[in-house]
């Protein structure tokens, strides 16, 4: 009997998937590296809650690592590092490879926008001697999660003369913060009998911002006037200037360690800055790649990648076209040989809500970077499905480098689903697959990830950029 068990054990080792948690595979030294890497990631999160702030922070990191702004009139050599800033809301970082673009490029693409509450163009109003902001939510949210939590105001106001006013208030412990109020349970009998979709609607996401009047005279809207005067004194803009502003309410909380063992990170914006930072650092750390490497930190993914800073725009392929022209080749010839990791998150298996997942095809906290062969919903609608050949190539890259990784789908079939930018990259005839970090409480104001998974995603992107 013992021989039969031994034979079975050997065959299992050879033939069956036997994934182990990263907590069991990594040494204490490797775990320390993961923790150290995530210290930098938390700084990136805290300083980059909006896409504008993420671009600004990423450029600072890039310049410290030798990147300079791209000049299409210059000739670049292998090892040169350049970046392209697209309207302060999207960023590309490029490391010129020894073979240039002739054999395609290595793309790593992550998005830096996250669900939030954007201010409407005419947001400020007063009601019953309270001042409030009207908002229009951005991306897929559960509206009730955004009530009764501290919020901060971030963004820019641009005056008619072009002057840019940076607005940043609510995150410093000495700042005031803001809140969307909710109905007390004592009066919420009707609300609590409704579905969540009906009980919380977009027009109820009004942010409380003040209650004291400017003066005691009989002028109406004195509280609104007082708030506007405070903003004018601090930032120098008037109510009409809201119409040329990108202002948003984001959770005021900073990134925090989660758990007695500090093994996880809780924060706003993991989706998808938890992949953007590893992609950024992989580009910073790669040395003399064979093929040209491009990290794209893009915008607008949460609303379908629309607009001139999203992946439906041509800004990325226009840049690749410039590189191709300098190499004496054409864009279409570069793209057909290009391979891409669409660095985006997946839903980590949550035992509290196990019925929403199919356990054999879910991803798990601490099991490393997750490869998502396809996303979409229903019968694989609105997705790119990576080919078997490309999946085999990615598997080999990761396994040869001992990267910890897993596979996963986004919940049960017909249970919902979601999309990423992979399908837009595939439209340019490149091979692409999603790879990223499993996330708990995705799209909530406070999401959770594993430090191991963040670090292994960095390692996966680095090895993808570096392999010959």
CATH classification of the domain holding 224: 2.30.250.10
DSSP designation for 411: S
- Flag whether pLDDT at 170 surpasses 50: yes
Residue-wise pLDDT for 95-127, tens only, equals: 999 999 999 999 999 999 999 999 999 999 999
Q: For residue 74, is it within any domain?
A: yes
Q: In terms of domains, do 426 and 370 share one?
A: yes
Among residues 204, 222, 251, the one where a domain terminates is: 251
- Does residue 12 sit within a domain? no
pLDDT in tens, 332-351: 999 999 999 999 999 999 99
289, part of any domain: yes
Q: Which of 184, 216, 251 is the last residue of a domain?
A: 251
Per-residue pLDDT at 1: 45
Domain finish residue from 251, 281, 306: 251
Kindly write down the DSSP assignment for every residue of 12-44, as one continuous string.
HHHHS-----HHHHS-HHHHHHHHHHHHHHHHH
Q: Which run of H or E residues covers position 93?
A: strand 90-95
263 in any annotated domain: no
Quote the CA–CA distance of 269 and 271 in Å, as a whole number.
Answer: 5
Measured between its terminal Cα atoms, the distance across the chain in Å is 47
Asked if residue 448 and residue 434 are part of one domain, the reply reads: yes
**Residues 65, 168: Cα–Cα separation, whole Å:** 27
Residues 352, 441 within the same domain: yes
The radius of gyration of the chain's CA atoms, rounded to the nearest angstrom, is: 24
Phi, psi of 113 (to 5 degrees): -95, 155
Residue 9 lies in a domain: no
Assign residue 330 the CATH number of its domain.
3.40.630.10
Residue 457, SS3 per DSSP: helix
DSSP sequence for 177-228:
-BEE----GGG-HHHHTS-HHHHS-GGG-PEEEE---S-SSS-S-HHHHHHH
- Per the confidence metrics, is the pTM higher than 0.85? yes
Instruction: Find out whether 446 and 268 touch, Cβ atoms under 8 Å.
Output: yes
Q: Tell me whether residue 88 is in a domain.
A: yes
416: left (phi over 0), alpha (psi -120 to 50) or beta: left
Cα–Cα dist 463/468, whole Å: 10
- Backbone φ and ψ for 39, nearest 5 degrees, come out as -65, -45
Answer yes or no: do 68 and 150 share one domain: no
- Angle, CA of 236, 241 and 247, to the nearest 5°: 90
Domain count, the chain: 2
Asked whether residue 80 carries a pLDDT value surpassing 90, the answer given is yes
Tell whether 88 and 222 lie within a shared domain: no
Question: What's the CA gap between 134 and 119, in Å, rounded?
Answer: 6
On whether both 165 and 228 belong to a single domain, the answer is: yes
In terms of domains, do 195 and 159 share one?
A: yes
- 325 & 227 share domain: no
Inter-CA distances, 307 with 52, 112, 117, 299, 467, Å? 15, 14, 19, 9, 33
Is it the case that residue 218 has pLDDT exceeding 80? no
Strands 339-342 and 431-436: parallel
Distance (Å) of CA 381 to CA 112, 346, 424: 24, 17, 14
Shared domain for 42 and 153, answered yes or no, is no
Q: Answer yes or no: do 436 and 450 share one domain.
A: yes
Domain containing 181: what range? Answer: 116-251
Give the number of other CB atoms < 10 A from CB of residue 98: 14
Tokens linked to 46: 């805290």
Question: Quick one: which H or E segment has residue 370?
Answer: strand 369-372
Question: Over 50: is that where the pLDDT of 418 sits?
Answer: yes
CA nearest neighbour of 333 among 413, 428, 399: 428
Q: Are residues 103 and 178 both part of a single domain? A: no
Could you tell me if residue 261 is inside a domain? Answer: no
Shared-domain flag, residues 298 and 447: yes
What is the pLDDT at residue 215?
83
Mean predicted confidence (pLDDT) in 84-90: 98
Q: What is the pLDDT of residue 382?
A: 85
| Residue corresponding to tokens 């209650």 | 211
């Amino acid at each position: 009997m013992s021989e039969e068990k031994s034979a079975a054990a050997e065959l299992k080792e050879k033939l069956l998937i036997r994934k182990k948690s990263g907590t069991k595979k990594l040494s204490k030294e490797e775990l320390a590296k993961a923790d150290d890497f995530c210290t930098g990631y938390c700084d990136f999160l805290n300083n980059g809650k909006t896409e504008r702030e993420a671009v600004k922070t990423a450029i600072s990191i890039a310049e410290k690592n030798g990147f300079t702004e791209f000049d299409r009139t210059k000739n670049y050599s292998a090892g040169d590092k350049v970046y392209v800033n697209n309207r302060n809301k999207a960023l590309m970082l490029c490391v010129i490879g020894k073979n240039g673009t002739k054999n395609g490029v290595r793309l790593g693409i992550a998005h830096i926008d996250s669900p939030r509450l954007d201010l409407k163009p005419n947001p400020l109003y007063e009601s019953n001697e309270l001042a409030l902001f009207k908002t229009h939510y951005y991306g897929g949210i559960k509206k009730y999660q955004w009530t009764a939590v501290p919020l901060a105001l971030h963004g820019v106001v641009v005056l008619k003369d072009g002057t840019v006013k940076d607005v940043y208030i609510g995150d410093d412990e000495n700042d005031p913060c803001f809140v969307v109020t909710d109905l007390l349970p004592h009066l919420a009998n009707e609300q609590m009998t409704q579905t969540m979709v009906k009980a919380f609607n977009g027009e109820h996401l009004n942010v409380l911002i003040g209650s004291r009047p400017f003066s005691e005279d009989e002028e109406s809207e004195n509280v609104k006037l007082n708030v506007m005067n405070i903003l004018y004194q601090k930032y120098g803009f008037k109510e009409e200037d809201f119409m040329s502003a990108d202002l948003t309410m984001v959770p005021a909380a900073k990134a925090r360690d989660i758990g007695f063992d500090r093994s996880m990170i809780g924060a706003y914006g993991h989706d998808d800055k938890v992949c953007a930072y590893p992609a950024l650092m992989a580009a910073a750390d790669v040395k003399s790649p064979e093929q040209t490497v491009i990290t794209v930190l893009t915008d607008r993914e949460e609303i379908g990648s629309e607009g001139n800073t999203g992946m439906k725009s041509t800004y990325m392929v226009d840049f690749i076209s410039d590189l191709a022209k300098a190499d004496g080749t054409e864009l279409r010839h570069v793209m057909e040989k290009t391979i891409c990791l669409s660095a985006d998150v997946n839903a980590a298996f949550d035992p509290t809500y196990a019925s929403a997942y199919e356990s054999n095809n879910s991803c798990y906290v601490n099991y490393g970077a997750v490869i998502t062969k396809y996303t979409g919903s229903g019968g694989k609608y609105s997705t790119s499905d990576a080919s078997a050949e490309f999946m085999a190539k990615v598997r080999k890259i990761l396994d040869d480098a001992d990267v910890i990784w897993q596979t996963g789908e986004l919940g049960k079939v017909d249970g919902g689903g979601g999309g990423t930018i992979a399908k837009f990259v595939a439209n340019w005839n490149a091979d692409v697959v999603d790879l990223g970090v499993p996330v708990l409480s995705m799209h909530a104001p406070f999401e959770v990830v594993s430090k191991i998974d963040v670090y292994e995603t960095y390692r996966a992107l680095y090895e993808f950029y570096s392999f010959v």
